[in-house]
Structure 1
Amino acid sequence: MRAALTLAAWALLSATAIAAPPEMLPPNMDAVTSDTAVDTAHPAAMVAFRLPSHGALLNAVLYTPSGGEAHATLLLLHGLPGNEQNLDLAQAARRAGWNVLTFHYRGSWGSPGVFSFANCAEDAAAALAWLRDPANVQKYHLKADRIVVAGHSMGGAMAARVAAADKDVAGVLLIDPFDLAGTGRGFADPAKRQAFDAGELHDDMPPLAGTSEDTLLDEIARADPAFDLAANARALADRPLMVIGAERGIAAQGIAAADAARAAGAPWVTSLTMPTDHSFSDHRIALETEVLKWLWTVPGRSVSFTGTAWQPDNIFAKMTRGEVKVATVYEDKYVLAFMGNHPESIGHVLVISKVAHARNIMEIPPVELNRVMAVARRVAIAERAVLHPQGVVIQQNNGNAQSIPHLHVHVYPSYAVSPWLTTPAPMAEFTDLQAVAAKLRAAMPQ
C-alpha cells in the first residue's frame, strides 16, 4: 500500500526530523488486490444508464473512482457475444483511479436493436462521443483528453477500428484481439468458414438479436477493410498501443497487429503473450497487473508529443493569471512556485513558468527553463532547511506520466525512501498546504 501522508500535523511544524513513511510500491499497483480508502465526500460509485446510439438506448455502466478531481477513462469493449466482460479488470482500473465505461452493443444482452459488426463499431464511437459530452465531463469528472479504448477479442477489433478513426483517443489496449477482416479473407476456403461457425459462432447466438449465423458469417466474409486489424494498428502509430495475447487463444492475430504498428514506425508499442486461454481464465491477476502498469504510462492527448499544442485554459496557466487559488511559495514576473495539492510527501512544490507557452522541455525557451530551474534550486534549499529530509527529488515529466499540458518541475522531499510520483496522489487540505508554504517562503534563499 502506498504511503498516505497527512498534512494535518503540520499546522505546528517544528524543526525536528520527520519519521520515515512506510515503503511505497510502484504507482497504483496495490489496486490489483487491495481496496482503496473510502472517500466519504466523493465515494466510488457505479452508474447504470442508457447510452444513446443511432436511435437505440444501450445498457451501459460507468464505474467511477473515489475523489473529487477529474479522472482518466477506460472504455472497455467486450467480445462476441460478451460472456467474458472483464469486469474484474474494470474494478481494478477503478481502484487505480480510472473511470471505466462498459456497455452492451445493439442487439446484445437486452440492448435494443439489431446486432451486427458494423453496428458494434458505431456503438463504440457513440460511447466515445458520450464520454466527451461537456455535460457528462462535468457531471462525472471525466478527463476528455485521456480516454483509452480497450477491447477483448471482437471488442479488440472494435477498439482498433474506432481509435484508428479518432485521433483524440489517447491510447489503445487490445486483449487477444480478433482480426475480423483477416478472418473474412480466409473464408474463401469454405472449410474455414464452416470451422469458424462450429468453433466460434454457433454457441454465441442466443444473447444476440436481429441476426443469424449466416448473416454474421456473410458480414465477416465481406468485411469492410476498416476492420483490418493490422491496418488499424498502423494507423495507431502515433499513440501508445498495448497488445496482450493468449497462447491458447488467438495470439497470432494480435502479434501480427503489433508487428504492423512497429513496421509503421510506432515507438510506443507494448506486446506480450500469456500462457493461458482466450478468456485468460488462469491469468486474471497477471492481466490486471500488466494493464494497470501500462495505463499509468499513457498521457492525455493534450500532453502527448503528437497531440494538441499548449492551450491557455490549462489549470497551470489559470494559476499564473490568478484565476485559481494556490498556496504560493515563491512568485516573480516569470516564475510561480506553489504547493502541490496532491503531495507525494510533505513539502511537495511545483515550479512553473508564467510566460512560456510550453507543454514540455522541448518546447520551452532555454532562458525561461533556466529561470524555472533556478527557482527549483532555491525551493530545494528551503525544503532542506525547514523539513530536514534525507534528500530532495527534482522531477520533470514530458508526456509520459504528465497530466497537465504545461511544463512543471516537481520539488519534493524524500525522508527514509524516495516517493513515487503517482497519478493521482491523495488530496491535501489547503490550510495545511498554506502552513508549509509559509515556512518554505521564510527559508527561501536569495
Structure 2
Amino acid sequence: MFSGLKSFAALGAAILCSSALSACVSVQVEHEEKDFSHVIGADPVGFDAEFPPSIEELFLYSQDERLNGLAYLANGEGPHPTVILLHGYPGNEKNLDLAQYLRNDGFNVLFFHYRGAWGSEGEFSFSNVIEDVASAAEYLRANAEYYRVDASAITLIGHSMGGFAALQGAANDASIACVAGIAPADFGRIGGAPAEALEGFLAYSDTMQMLAGWSGEKAVSELQANAESFALAGLAPQMVGKSVLLIAGDQDASVSAEMVEDVAAAYSAEPGIDVEMITLSGDHSFSWSRIALSETVLTWIEDCR
C-alpha cells in the first residue's frame, strides 16, 4: 500500500502522461438489488453448533518456506466458496473487515503474509508474491475437507499490490473464475516509467523493514526487469471466461482511477471477459467508504458464486 506517499503520487501522474491508452472507461453491470444488513449490520441470529464460524491460525508452504496465515471459516458444514484475500505493499491495510463480512455471507476467507513479509519465512519479492498466491490456492485444494472448502469455487480478491497479485494469480490459474482488484497496482506500468520517476518509489521501499531481504534498489530493479510480464493490461487474453471486478477510489493518490480504468479498457476490449469497473469515493485505503467497498464486493461475488 502506498497511502500518503507524495512521491508515488507524482509517479502515478508521470505514468498517466505516458500511457498509450487515452480513453477512460466505466463499466457498470446491472445486479439484482441485495440487502446485506444481515451481513454487515447485525450478528448472526444463530449458528451451527458443530460447525460454527471460527478463525484458525495456519501455516502454508511456498517453495519450502513457511507463510503465516489465518482462515476465517463460515458457519455450517459447507463446503463453502472460499476467498483468498491478498494484502498490499507492504500490507498496512489488511481489509480484515471485508474478511468478516464475507464470512458472515457464507464464504471462507484465507488471509496470509507473503514470503519475507511480516514474519513469514524467506525473502520478499514481487515475483515471490505471485508464486505465493498459487501456493495458497493449492493449499486450499489440498486441505479442502479440513477447512470445508468448495475447491471449485475459489476467488482471488486483493488490494493494491494484492490486486496486482490477484489478477496475476487468476491469469495463471484456469480454475479461478472470479477475481477482484481493489485499487490494483499496475507494476508493469510502474516498471516502465522513466528512471527519475522511480526515485520516490525506491526511497519508499527502503523504509520497509517488515519485508525481509528487501530494498529500494531491489524493488526498482525487479519492476524494470519485469515491466512487460507485470503489466496488468497484458493479462487480458488469460482473463477470457472469467469475471473481473476492478474498484478505484476517486481520491486515490497512489493508484489513480484513470490507471484502473486503463486496465478495465484493456479487458473490455478482449471478447469473453465479464469485467466490471466501479469508482467509489475513497482514498487508497477507502478510509471513509469501508461499507460501500464491502457492499460492492459482496454484490459482485454473490453473482459470481
Residue 49 in structure 1 maps to residue 52 in structure 2: no
Check whether the contact 1:156–1:174 (CA below 8 A) recurs between aligned residues: yes
Q: What is the match of residue 190 of structure 2?
A: 183
Give 1:26-105 correspondences, 5 Å limit: 26=34, 30-36=38-44, 37-105=46-114
Unaligned runs of 5+ residues in structure 2 are 1-32
Report the CA distance between 1:26 and its aligned residue. 2.9
For residue 192 of structure 1, the aligned residue among 197, 204, 224 is: 197
1:252 to 258, 261, 269: 258
Match of 2:212 in 1: 209
**Alpha carbons of structure 1 residues 243 and 234: separation in structure 2 relative to 1, 3 Å:** farther
- Residues 234-253 of structure 1: per-residue CA shift (max 9 Å, x gap): 42131111000112221222
One-letter identity of the residue aligned with 2:126: F
Rounded Cα–Cα distance in structure 2 between residues aligned with 1:290 and 1:239? 18
Please give the TM-score of this superposition, normalised by the length of structure 2.
0.84
Match of 1:174 in 2: 181
1:1-40 paired onto structure 2 within 5 Å: 26=34, 30-36=38-44, 37-40=46-49
1:320-362 CA-partner distances (Å, limit 9, x unpaired): xxxxxxxxxxxxxxxxxxxxxxxxxxxxxxxxxxxxxxxxxxx
CA shift, 1:273, in A, is 0.9
**Secondary structure of 1:248's aligned partner:** coil
Measure how far apart 1:270 and its partner are. Answer: 1.1
Give the Cα–Cα distance (whole angstroms) in 2 for the partners of residues 30 and 271 of structure 1: 26
Alpha carbons of structure 1 residues 185 and 224: separation in structure 2 relative to 1, 3 Å = closer
Which blocks of at least 5 consecutive residues in structure 1 are unaligned?
Answer: 1-24, 300-446
One-letter amino acid matched to 1:229: L
Task: For residue 38 of structure 1, report the CA deviation from its aligned partner.
Answer: 2.5
Question: 1:27: Cα distance to partner?
Answer: 6.0
Query: Can you list the C-alpha shifts for 1:372-420, whole angstroms capped at 9, x where unaligned?
Result: xxxxxxxxxxxxxxxxxxxxxxxxxxxxxxxxxxxxxxxxxxxxxxxxx
Q: In the TM superposition, what is the alpha-carbon distance from 1:28 to its structure 2 partner?
A: 5.0
In the TM superposition, what is the alpha-carbon distance from 1:217 to its structure 2 partner? 1.2
Q: Is the CA contact (8 Å cut-off) linking 1:237 and 1:262 kept in structure 2? A: no
- Distance (Å, rounded) in 1 between the aligned partners of 2:267 and 2:105: 28
Match 1:294 to one of 282, 300, 305: 300
**In structure 2, do the counterparts of structure 1 residues 298 and 282 end up closer, same or farther at CA, with 3 Å as the change threshold?**
same
Aligned counterpart for 1:272 among listed residues 271, 278, 282: 278
Specify the code of the residue in structure 2 equivalent to 1:30: H
Residue in structure 2 matched with residue 364 of structure 1 by the alignment: none
What's 1:151 paired with?
158
Partner Cα separation in structure 2 for residue 87 and residue 47 of structure 1: 14
Query: How far 1:228 sits from its partner (Å)?
Result: 1.2
RMSD: 1.5
C-alpha separation between the residues in 1 aligned to 2:250 and 2:36? 28
Q: Report the secondary structure of 1:227's partner residue.
A: coil
Q: Larger RCO: Structure 1 or Structure 2 (Cα < 8 Å, ≥ 6 residues apart)?
A: 2
Letter in structure 1 aligned against 2:269: A
Distance 2:35 2:234 in 1: 33
Give 1:281's aligned residue. 287
State TM-score, norm by structure 1: 0.58
| Distance change (3 Å), C-alpha of 1:27 and 1:39 | farther
Q: Which one has the largest radius of gyration?
A: 1
Counting aligned pairs with the same residue, the percent is: 37
Contact 2:188 2:226 in 1 (8 A): yes
